[in-house]
Structure 1
Amino acid sequence: MGVPQIRTEEVSALIYCRVSTTKQKLTGSGLDSQEYRCRQYAESKGYNVEMVFPDDASGGGDFLKRPGMCGMLAYLDAQRGKDYVVIFDDLKRFARDVEFHIKLRREFANRGAKIECLNFAFEDTPEGKFIETIIAAQGELERDQNRRQVKQKMTARVEKGYWVFHAPTGYKFTTDRIHRKLLAPDEPIADYLREALTGYADGRFRSQAEVQRFLESKPDFPKDLPNGKIRAWKITKILKNPIYAGYVQAKKWNVSLRRGHHEPLISFATHEKIQKNLAEGARGPARADFSEDFPLRGFVTCSECGNHMTGAWSKGKYKYYAYYRCMTRGCSQKSKSIARAKLEGGFEDILKRLQPSKRLLDLAIAMFSDAWNSRLELAQAERDEWRRQAEAADKSLLELIDRLVETKNPTVVKAIETKIEKLEREKFALVEKAAEPLPNVGKFEECIELSLRFLSRPWDIYKNGSYAVRQTVLRLAFSDPLTFTPEGVYGTPKTTLPFKVLGHFDNQKCEMVL
């Protein structure tokens, strides 16, 4: 009789691989090399590898936040009653935290899975558990030390004026010979942000909603919603971020606001004006349901109640008709329709009358030239005064810091810190103003050309412009909304200063002296 053969049951194995950084996942071969070594180990042991579960750097020490580890535990749950060996390349891939190491060991034990590591032999003895805990603690120590070192290096770099986090919208990281990794404007997105930030500061965009619609209208600007919209909180974040003014800070690391080395998109004075507008919140929000069909909606008011008129389409027997109406409850003109052609035609006449003659434009040029020369004479004196104020602010800062060091009262410390932060921002604005070069001779022609282009033909710009351009013309030409009366005529328009001055000269029949 022959000797009976003993049948050995095949052992099933699972492999877990993990890299420490996302860069290793994208550009390195960490996961592949780990899997290869683990498969070689399994083959030498005669194990049958059923699945491989990889993880990148996500989740940190908590294994429940790692997709690969969660997937492995779920796989074991689905195979209850079947014994598995889980293979790791290195004990540090298991858990670099003593607490989570013990918890993970328990999770595998509850599922009947055996753990094997290529460079460490697990032993169920007091001595083996002690050594295992020491190695896990060493891994936790190394991780905490690395985290501390990275934080210290990043903090030091922010203190030197460099941005170390993800590049904000409108910027990208470039390699500079002197500064190494440095932010640089990412065009054309940066150009859109310049216009949006400056527009909100000077009143072209009267609300964050208008800034949002402007940026959403730009096809190249990144959107974060499937419908092509941008979340409102992102607009607020952009408006509040001092990085666009060339400054960096890291409040969570106690790094105060300081001048950065990257190129700013706006001046610090413009940034401060934006913060003031955000804090005041006095400007009326733009309509969310704006329509290019009714450009005067929200600008023309009812003479009876003083409220803004609205516009809408009304369905007739055969077609739709466009009307403006006052919808104020209790107003005698409520719901009385005014044909769009009539209301907008009267506005057209008003805007056309604002276009001055060539004689008045020549006079305006001469006036602007005199004003420009007078302003230049004052510019140097103002710059000297800004320098003096900046030096005074610097001296006050030093005095406040001395007081802060001597003070122990928490309430007083908080008050002094708040005052220091405010004074620092004021100093930044003063230093920036004092450093601005005086305009050259050619700057006058450049500025006057843009101004005269608008003053000479406001109606043409309005007629041919987009909805946003038309709204800008309304704000630049009129200081107050226009009033429409029940008789179908406009009240006396209140124009802005340039048109008011030109209108005054026109009424006086002034002659320009050559």
Structure 2
Amino acid sequence: MGEAKIQSETVPKALIYCRVSSTRQKTEGGGLESQEHRCRQYADSKGYQVVGVFPDDASGGGDFMNRPGMVALLSFLDAQPGEKYIVVFDDLKRFARDTEFHIKLRREFQARGARIECLNFKLDDDTPEGKFIETIIAAQGELEREQNRRQVIQKMKARVEKGYWVFHAPIGYRYASNRVHGKLMVYDEPLASIVREALESYAIGRFRSQAEVKRFLESKPDFPKDLPNGEVRAWKVTKMLKQSLYAGFIEVPNWNVSLRKGHHEPLISFDTFTRIQKNLDAGARPAARKDISADFPLRGFVCCDDCGKPMTAAWSKGCRKRYAYYLCDTRGCESKRKSVPRARIEDGFSDILKNMQPSKRFFALAKQMFIDAWDMHLAEAQVAKQAMVKQLKEIETQIEGVLDRIVEATNPSVITAYEKRIERLERDKIVLAERVENHIPPKGRLEEFIELSLVFLSRPWEIYENGSLAVKRTVLRLAFSEPLRYSRENGYRTTETTFPFKVLAGFNNQNEEMVHL
């Protein structure tokens, strides 16, 4: 037993290091297994005892300290300073593909008393010729790495210039094989619909801030969350709002690839994307209160009549149960902290909304009004389209003129200014071209528009009562042009409704019959 122990202590101990450049090579290529197999065969032939294997599936960009496996290997050697190990690896290119880091890594192992051995190259530290050849081979590996990187970037850039995205697909898209286009981004449902709703809602003002967009995304179970508490990082929301891919366009400023039409299907129009950028440039807007809940759907919409500020709401704990109240919390207001039972606020509001439902006999008239308004809109759209076509031609003329000036210019700063102007004109051209194409709605939109409008006008209370919190807030914005004012003594003041309800209210004032609930 003692002889076996002595023999085991005298057998050289080896550590195997194997590396592939990507996780894909690790999972699909089987490169790590084959390298380890060859290194074990080499160790057996030399009589080495393999005590550890350290794999890597990252290139590290030439820097060995960016490879987790190499860091673990050096840490292992540091933890056992008295041991002398032999580090075995398959090829010199697996060691380091950068001349500078190759030399540094050699010194790191020498400082720890470890000897390195390569299957495909005999390392000779004793002669100047051996060191020279090793340096040349390391430099060759660096050259190949840089050449491969350059070729990959050139191919990727060429594909981007043709209108294809080559990087990781943004949320809402995924890559799929296409017979004509190769790998092409397609909708990834249900994420695509979630992202579209978030972007369009921010563009039209339904979500007034990025915080509201963030809250909306966090409320969707299918949307991927960044943090364990179910939150989405704020930078991800900003990145989504600034992503031109969702509008069907591609640009990579780092590669000097300007904005151009992509081959993938857009989630939103470029006009919507432009409005989003304008909202972002306008700066932060007040976010909707985070504490607005289904318990108090009118919080923030009903204002105190004394000060005109939005009323808040809260639950109050009584002796036996909790009570719901609305109240004004404005400093200096006569009604500050004087609560009003939730039932009084919401029952009064329900009476207002119920009285806004018009009589059935007016719907034929309302439908005809919509048709007349639609015809007027089409006539105006035709005129506007002609004006936009003319403006589009003017922009194209301006672009040609600026290009002629660039050819004649010699000052770099002047050329840069011209290029920026062309970029702005190209963006304006894209917006105008899209508006020209979509400015006149198809015939089917008329029936769709009338049907949806009449459904809402016929039963706003029913939609409000049975809808979610988001639907309730939408009904408030569509039915009332201003927030409601409430007096503790006299109840609701005169309400300001939107135009369609004002028109129908004019007919209702002629002693006509209301719809029976």
Match of 2:42 in 1: 41
Give the Å deviation of 1:321: 1.0
| Partner deviation per Cα, 1:337-392 (whole Å, 9 max, x = no partner) | 11111111111111112111112222110011112223223433433332222222
Inter-CA distance 34–163: structure 2 relative to 1 (3 Å threshold): same
Question: Does 1:65 find its partner at 2:79?
Answer: no
User: SS of the counterpart of 2:10?
Assistant: coil
Partners of 2:100 and 2:232 in 1: how far apart?
A: 41
Give the Å deviation of 1:144: 0.7
CA contact (8 A) 1:101 1:136 kept: yes
Partners of 1:156 and 1:201 in 2: how far apart?
A: 33
CA contact (8 A) 1:91 1:117 kept: yes
Partners of 2:283 and 2:464 in 1: how far apart?
A: 28
| Partner deviation per Cα, 1:219-275 (whole Å, 9 max, x = no partner) | 212122222221122112111111111011111111111110000011111111111
Question: Match for 1:463 among 462, 465, 486?
Answer: 465
Partners of 2:299 and 2:415 in 1: how far apart?
A: 52
Match of 1:202 in 2: 204
Match of 2:316 in 1: 314
Partners of 2:299 and 2:252 in 1: how far apart?
A: 44
Question: Match for 1:333 among 332, 335, 346?
Answer: 335
Partners of 2:108 and 2:301 in 1: how far apart?
A: 67
Match of 1:75 in 2: 76
| Partner deviation per Cα, 1:393-414 (whole Å, 9 max, x = no partner) | 1221232233345445565455
Give the Å deviation of 1:76: 1.0
Partners of 1:307 and 1:107 in 2: how far apart?
A: 69
Partners of 1:401 and 1:98 in 2: how far apart?
A: 45
Kindly tell me the number of residue pairs found equivalent between the two proteins: 506
Partners of 1:78 and 1:414 in 2: how far apart?
A: 57
Match of 1:179 in 2: 181
Match of 2:190 in 1: 188
Give the Å deviation of 1:106: 0.2
Partners of 2:439 and 2:305 in 1: how far apart?
A: 49
Deviates more, 1:499-508 or 1:310-319: 499-508
| Partner deviation per Cα, 1:389-443 (whole Å, 9 max, x = no partner) | 2222122123223334544556545544443332222111111122238444332
Match of 1:23 in 2: 24
Inter-CA distance 415–489: structure 2 relative to 1 (3 Å threshold): farther
Inter-CA distance 410–361: structure 2 relative to 1 (3 Å threshold): farther
Equivalent AA in structure 1 for residue 164 of structure 2: Y
Match of 2:288 in 1: 286
Question: Match for 2:306 among 304, 307, 313?
Answer: 304
Equivalent AA in structure 1 for residue 508 of structure 2: D
Give the Å deviation of 1:282: 6.5
Question: Does 1:112 find its partner at 2:132?
Answer: no
Equivalent AA in structure 1 for residue 392 of structure 2: A
CA contact (8 A) 1:343 1:488 kept: no
Give the Å deviation of 1:215: 2.1
User: SS of the counterpart of 1:15?
Assistant: strand
CA contact (8 A) 2:16 2:52 kept: yes
Partners of 1:168 and 1:56 in 2: how far apart?
A: 24
1:26-425 mapped onto 2 (5 Å cutoff) = 26-124=27-125, 125-281=127-283, 283-407=285-409, 412-425=414-427
Partners of 1:70 and 1:56 in 2: how far apart?
A: 13
Partners of 1:437 and 1:237 in 2: how far apart?
A: 29
User: SS of the counterpart of 2:206?
Assistant: coil
| Partner deviation per Cα, 1:419-469 (whole Å, 9 max, x = no partner) | 333222211111112223844433211111111111111111111111111
Inter-CA distance 418–509: structure 2 relative to 1 (3 Å threshold): farther
User: SS of the counterpart of 1:429?
Assistant: helix
CA contact (8 A) 1:209 1:288 kept: no
User: SS of the counterpart of 2:292?
Assistant: coil
Inter-CA distance 338–58: structure 2 relative to 1 (3 Å threshold): farther
Partners of 1:495 and 1:267 in 2: how far apart?
A: 31
Partners of 1:287 and 1:414 in 2: how far apart?
A: 45
What 5-or-longer segments of structure 2 have no aligned partner? 1-5, 513-517
CA contact (8 A) 2:385 2:439 kept: no
Inter-CA distance 338–437: structure 2 relative to 1 (3 Å threshold): closer
User: SS of the counterpart of 1:27?
Assistant: helix
| Partner deviation per Cα, 1:458-511 (whole Å, 9 max, x = no partner) | 11111111111111111111111111123241121111122122223433679x
Inter-CA distance 365–225: structure 2 relative to 1 (3 Å threshold): same
Inter-CA distance 256–79: structure 2 relative to 1 (3 Å threshold): same
Give the Å deviation of 1:71: 0.8
Match of 1:10 in 2: 11
CA contact (8 A) 2:311 2:327 kept: yes
TM-score (norm 2): 0.93
Question: Does 1:430 find its partner at 2:440?
Answer: no
Partners of 1:83 and 1:233 in 2: how far apart?
A: 49
Partners of 2:393 and 2:278 in 1: how far apart?
A: 24
Partners of 2:488 and 2:14 in 1: how far apart?
A: 87
User: SS of the counterpart of 2:72?
Assistant: helix
Give the Å deviation of 1:300: 1.1
Deviates more, 1:389-398 or 1:364-373: 389-398
Deviates more, 1:58-67 or 1:282-291: 282-291
| Partner deviation per Cα, 1:44-69 (whole Å, 9 max, x = no partner) | 11111111110002422111111110
Question: Match for 1:504 among 488, 494, 506?
Answer: 506
User: SS of the counterpart of 1:60?
Assistant: helix
Deviates more, 1:479-488 or 1:62-71: 479-488
Partners of 1:280 and 1:338 in 2: how far apart?
A: 38
| Partner deviation per Cα, 1:264-302 (whole Å, 9 max, x = no partner) | 011111111111122224743111222211111111111
User: SS of the counterpart of 1:343?
Assistant: helix
CA contact (8 A) 2:18 2:36 kept: yes
Partners of 1:453 and 1:304 in 2: how far apart?
A: 36
What 5-or-longer segments of structure 1 have no aligned partner? 1-5
Equivalent AA in structure 1 for residue 168 of structure 2: H
| Partner deviation per Cα, 1:169-226 (whole Å, 9 max, x = no partner) | 0000011111101000001110111222112212222222222222222221212222
Partners of 2:394 and 2:287 in 1: how far apart?
A: 39
Equivalent AA in structure 1 for residue 454 of structure 2: L
Inter-CA distance 326–417: structure 2 relative to 1 (3 Å threshold): farther
Identity across aligned pairs (percent)?
Answer: 64
Partners of 2:342 and 2:420 in 1: how far apart?
A: 54
CA contact (8 A) 2:209 2:284 kept: no
CA contact (8 A) 2:218 2:231 kept: yes
